[in-house]
């Protein structure tokens, strides 16, 4: 059997670790270069510095094939195919900060026989400018579509693999295709700029779908329709599809906010006004605050009120707080004079620094004790298993706003809790509806 070619990975962040561990699991020897010595030491001890399901087991199972180092020479000696998985955070202008990418290219130095495979999300045109500056370095754009919380599963079961090369780098593109071939997914081989745009456009489209269903939910609130029923009916049309039609408190995380901004900036830099994207971003910011109006229909004022937040992470199965809706919500609540108590199964440590005035509780029930209202912010499965009758007893005022339409309204209401959600009929609307059915 052909020896799998060794792979180099620059950056042991979330994308880098998942990419490295999965390629090792596919049989490749993988050398991971990380500049933070502490991270390398931890990984060598078998400690995984991020919360990502299945990743620790995968790294342990493939320990023989994985090398972690701070030494770029060790990577360059071992591998021709070098996956760049460094951070490209937004600068103040909203453009992507490519300094880590530049540093990696400088450190590669003599590109002879090397191929750089860009996994980091970069603005369209980045690949072409790197090729211009380093013509001897083969360059492949291979954007990732991993979701936090399911990244290992997403890597091993991709919807598609996108490979972008410009004329002259076809061989490198084929080598990347060969590395992904065992996954059996469709491989889109295209030019550099199109590959880079597929990434940004895919995320921007998913963000658009979310902002759209959130606006539909806001209309449902006014007309007594149930957005979860609406989404079900819409999603059966294969042209629409059922996924990413969950109305809630808006999208967060390290990708959608950043990539929608980056695409907006990209368009702006070439003098094109991307109206739709502007609205997607605006709707999302407003949606994070939508709960406030729901609270005010039940509580005259939030001054000296105790409000419990269930969940802080931008979504379940991650400890990532980047652009989490909880950040905006907590500061709005505090701004209105409320005391905020929160619980999150894994993100409390990350949240403490970002939310210094929020009291972190040891459990969901502790957070709910004496609360005048509660908001479900992140749809962690354990919240659905709460004993709502017990919750009703512990709260000072049994009022819950389900910011992710995650719970069963009937179950929560049967426990004597006033239940509000996003685009789902309130008790008043329901009695109107049932009366109409009679
Ligand atoms: C996203 C893309 O899904 C992934 O392909 C890309 O590589 C990186 O960005 P991620 O940010 O991990 O992944 O999370 P995702 O599951 O997409 O959720 C993003 C945000 O949208 C979360 O805040 C989530 O709560 C929200 N969301 C998602 C909704 O509000 N409604 C939905 O129906 C789906």
Quote the CA–CA distance of 398 and 170 in Å, as a whole number: 63
Q: Which atom, in ligand 1's list, is nearest to the CA of 315?
A: 25
Q: Which of 16, 122, 144, 147 to mutate to test the pocket of ligand 1 (most atoms within 8 A of CB)?
A: 147
CA of residue 314 to ligand 1 center, whole Å: 9
CA of residue 212 to ligand 1 center, whole Å: 14
Residue pLDDT, tens place only, 215-261: 999 999 999 999 999 999 999 999 999 999 999 999 999 999 999 99
332-364 core/surface letters (b: 16 or more CB in 10 A; e: else): bbbebebbbbbbbbbbbebbeebbeebebbeeb
Residue pLDDT, tens place only, 96-106: 899 999 999 99
CB atoms within 10 A of CB 223: 9
Q: What is the pTM of this model?
A: 0.94
Q: Which of 15, 159, 251, 254 to mutate to test the pocket of ligand 1 (most atoms within 8 A of CB)?
A: 251
Q: For ligand 1, say whether the CB of 251 is within 6 Å of any of its atoms.
A: yes
CA of residue 15 to ligand 1 center, whole Å: 15
Give the orientation angle of helix 256-269 with respect to helix 275-287, to 10 degrees.
Answer: 150
Quote the CA–CA distance of 137 and 121 in Å, as a whole number: 19
Rounded to 5 degrees, φ, ψ at 188 are: -95, 105
β pairing state of 81-84 and 115-118 = parallel
Q: For ligand 1, say whether the CB of 144 is within 6 Å of any of its atoms.
A: yes
The three-state secondary structure class of 78 is helix
Q: Which of 161, 207, 227, 256 to mutate to test the pocket of ligand 1 (most atoms within 8 A of CB)?
A: 256
Residue pLDDT, tens place only, 124-162: 999 999 999 888 899 999 999 999 999 999 999 999 999
pLDDT over 90 (residue 425)? no
Quote the CA–CA distance of 298 and 395 in Å, as a whole number: 15
Instruction: Return the pLDDT at 433.
Output: 52
The three-state secondary structure class of 17 is helix
pLDDT over 80 (residue 407)? yes
Rounded to 5 degrees, φ, ψ at 403 are: -75, 0
Among 85, 142, 220, 255, the active-site one is 255
Selection from 406, 403, 88, 149 nearest residue 251 by Cα = 403
Instruction: Return the pLDDT at 94.
Output: 74
Protein residue with its CA nearest to atom 3 in ligand 1: 147
Q: For ligand 1, say whether the CB of 256 is within 6 Å of any of its atoms.
A: yes
CA of residue 74 to ligand 1 center, whole Å: 36
Location of structure tokens 């060969």 = 178
Selection from 18, 103, 104 nearest residue 62 by Cα = 18
Q: Which atom, in ligand 1's list, is nearest to the CA of 244?
A: 33
Task: Decide if 255 is catalytic.
Answer: yes
Quote the CA–CA distance of 311 and 375 in Å, as a whole number: 9
Rounded to 5 degrees, φ, ψ at 185 are: -95, 160
Flag the least confident range among 85-94, 291-300, 426-435.
426-435
Instruction: Return the pLDDT at 429.
Output: 54
Give long-range contacts, CB 8 A cutoff, 24+ apart: 277-281.
Answer: 277/204, 277/208, 279/211, 280/204, 280/207, 280/208, 280/211, 281/257
Q: For ligand 1, say whether the CB of 246 is within 6 Å of any of its atoms.
A: yes
Rounded to 5 degrees, φ, ψ at 419 are: -115, 125
pLDDT classification of 198: cutoffs 50, 70, 90: very high
Q: For ligand 1, say whether the CB of 287 is within 6 Å of any of its atoms.
A: no
Section 279-293 average pLDDT: 96
Q: Which atom, in ligand 1's list, is nearest to the CA of 245?
A: 33
Asked if residues 365 and 386 have their Cβ atoms less than 8 Å apart, the reply is yes
Question: How many angstroms separate the Cα of 381 from the Cα of each of 393, 407, 412?
Answer: 22, 10, 15
Instruction: Return the pLDDT at 55.
Output: 97
């Amino acid at each position: 059997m052909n020896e799998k070619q060794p792979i180099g990975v620059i950056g042991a962040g979330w994308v880098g670790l998942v990419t490295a561990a999965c390629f090792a699991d596919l049989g490749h020897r993988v050398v991971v270069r990380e500049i933070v010595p502490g991270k390398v030491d931890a990984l060598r001890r078998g400690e995984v510095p991020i919360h990502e399901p299945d990743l620790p087991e995968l790294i342990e199972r493939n320990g023989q094939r994985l090398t972690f180092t701070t030494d770029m020479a060790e990577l360059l000696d071992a591998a021709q195919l070098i996956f760049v998985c460094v951070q490209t955070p937004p600068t103040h202008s909203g453009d992507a900060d490519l300094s880590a990418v530049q540093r990696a290219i400088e450190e590669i130095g003599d590109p002879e026989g090397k191929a750089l495979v860009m996994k980091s999300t970069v603005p369209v045109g980045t690949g072409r400018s790197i090729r211009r500056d380093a013509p001897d370095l083969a360059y492949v754009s291979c954007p990732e579509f991993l979701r936090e919380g399911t990244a290992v599963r997403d890597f091993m079961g991709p919807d598609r693999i996108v490979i972008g090369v410009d004329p002259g780098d076809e061989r490198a593109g084929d080598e990347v295709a060969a590395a992904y071939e065992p996954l059996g997914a469709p491989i889109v081989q295209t030019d550099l700029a199109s590959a880079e745009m597929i990434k940004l456009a895919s995320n921007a489209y998913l963000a658009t779908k979310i902002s759209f269903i959130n606006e539909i939910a806001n209309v449902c609130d006014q007309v007594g329709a149930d957005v979860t029923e609406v989404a079900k009916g819409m999603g059966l049309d294969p042209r629409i599809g059922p996924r990413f039609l969950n109305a809630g408190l808006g999208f967060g995380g390290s990708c959608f906010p950043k990539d929608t901004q980056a695409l907006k900036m990209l368009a702006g830099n070439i003098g094109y006004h991307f109206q739709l994207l502007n609205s997607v971003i605006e709707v999302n910011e407003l949606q994070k605050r939508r709960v406030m109006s729901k609270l005010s229909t039940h509580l005259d004022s939030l001054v000296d009120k105790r409000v419990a937040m269930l969940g802080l992470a931008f979504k379940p199965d991650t400890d990532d707080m980047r652009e989490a809706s909880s950040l905006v919500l907590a500061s709005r609540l505090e701004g209105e004079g409320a005391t905020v108590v929160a619980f999150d199964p894994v993100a409390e440590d990350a949240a403490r620094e970002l939310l210094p005035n929020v009291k972190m509780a040891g459990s969901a029930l502790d957070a709910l004790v004496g609360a005048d209202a509660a908001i479900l912010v992140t749809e962690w499965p354990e919240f659905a298993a709460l004993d709502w009758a017990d919750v009703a007893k512990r709260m000072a005022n049994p009022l819950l706003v389900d910011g992710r339409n995650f719970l069963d309204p009937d179950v929560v209401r049967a426990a004597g809790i006033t239940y509000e959600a996003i685009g789902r009929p309130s008790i008043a609307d329901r009695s109107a509806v049932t009366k109409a059915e009679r």
